[in-house]
């Protein structure tokens, strides 16, 4: 597992270096004319936001590694309570959204306004689709009392957080310390969902600017930076899916 974390941190550092290169080189010199430099602040702020995201996410993976080492049986049991089908579908949704995000950059570089609009809308649609699936996944966890910390074992309504009378909790059948798994599950996937929501907001802003005709061969940096941020959000999920959903997973019929 240590190799996985090392690769993730290394990949995050490469992304940060790529962001800095865009701002120092292509972003401010090649794409933007001197008279347009006053509009560079979204690029700088966006780059800093992506860099902070890259550096803070590995901290939760370190916490995951420690707690999984301590409570391996509980983590495996908790993972088996997750819906792997929903997780796999969401993985495909985000991978497709990375493709549409990349295509939006390519079309904006070619000054194809309508095509760029189509790819951005598809990216936003995928983001909402991801959150839609995640909502139903969270709702099932609330209904079965698979909640973080001291709330573990008490079925609750997801919207009101009120205890559900007569609802069955599967928590009693799970090993001790399984609440640690679900604490990390909600923190890591919840933080990721927040970044998805932020990404939707930024994509909507990019869409409005594209409809206004702001992007062309000469200037497309905001689209480029937003797509890079979106790729990073997708990258984090690529690590979350196997670490949370596929712990000790053995496909049906593979037992010996």
Say if 251 falls within a structural domain: no
Here the tokens at position 25 are: 């080189």
pTM above 0.75, yes or no: yes
Domain-located, residue 255: no
pLDDT of 197-212, one tens digit each?
989 999 999 999 999 9
For 45-50, the CB contacts below 8 A with 24+ separation are 46/202, 46/222, 46/225, 46/226, 46/229, 47/19, 47/20, 47/22, 47/23, 47/225, 49/229, 50/15, 50/16, 50/19, 50/225, 50/228, 50/229, 50/232
Q: Please list, residue by residue across 16-31, b when 16 or more beta carbons sit within 10 angstroms of its beta carbon and e when fewer do.
A: beebeebbeeebbeeb
- The whole-number pLDDT of residue 54 equals 56
Total number of domains in the chain: 1
- Asked whether residue 237 is assigned to any structural domain, the reply reads yes
Please tell me whether residue 163 adopts helix, strand or coil conformation.
strand
Report the candidate in 186, 168, 189 with the shortest Cα–Cα distance to residue 178.
186
List the domain range (segments joined by +) for residue 193: 2-245
Q: Which residues of the chain have pLDDT under 50?
A: 1-40, 250, 252-256
Q: For the domain that residue 186 is a member of, what is the CATH number? A: 1.20.120.80
For residue 163, list its beta bridge partners.
Answer: 156
- The C-alpha angle with vertex 220 and arms to 217 and 224, in degrees rounded to 5, equals 130
Q: What was the pLDDT predicted at 41?
A: 52
Residue 199 lies in a domain: yes
């Amino acid at each position: 597992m240590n190799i996985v974390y090392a690769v993730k941190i290394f990949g995050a550092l490469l992304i940060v270096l790529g962001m800095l290169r865009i701002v120092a080189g292509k972003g401010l010199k090649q794409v933007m004319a001197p008279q347009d430099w006053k509009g560079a602040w979204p690029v700088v702020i966006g780059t800093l936001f992506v860099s902070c995201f890259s550096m803070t996410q590995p901290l939760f993976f370190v916490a995951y590694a420690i707690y999984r080492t301590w409570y391996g049986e509980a983590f495996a049991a908790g993972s088996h309570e997750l819906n792997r089908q929903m997780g796999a579908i969401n993985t495909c949704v985000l991978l497709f959204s990375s493709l549409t995000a990349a295509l939006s950059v390519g079309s904006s570089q070619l000054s194809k306004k309508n095509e760029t609009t189509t790819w951005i809308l598809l990216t936003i649609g995928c983001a909402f689709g991801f959150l839609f699936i995640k909502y139903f996944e969270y709702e099932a966890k609330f209904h079965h009392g698979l909640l973080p910390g001291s709330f573990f074992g008490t079925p609750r309504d997801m919207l009101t957080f009120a205890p559900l009378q007569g609802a069955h909790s599967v928590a009693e059948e799970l090993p001790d310390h399984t609440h640690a798994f679900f604490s990390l599950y909600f923190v890591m996937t919840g933080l990721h969902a927040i970044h998805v929501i932020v990404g939707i907001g930024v994509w909507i802003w990019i869409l409005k600017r594209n409809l206004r005709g702001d992007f062309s061969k000469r200037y497309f940096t905001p689209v480029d930076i937003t797509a890079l941020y979106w790729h990073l959000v997708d990258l984090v999920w690529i690590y979350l899916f196997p670490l949370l959903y596929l712990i000790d997973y053995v496909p049906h019929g593979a037992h010996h």
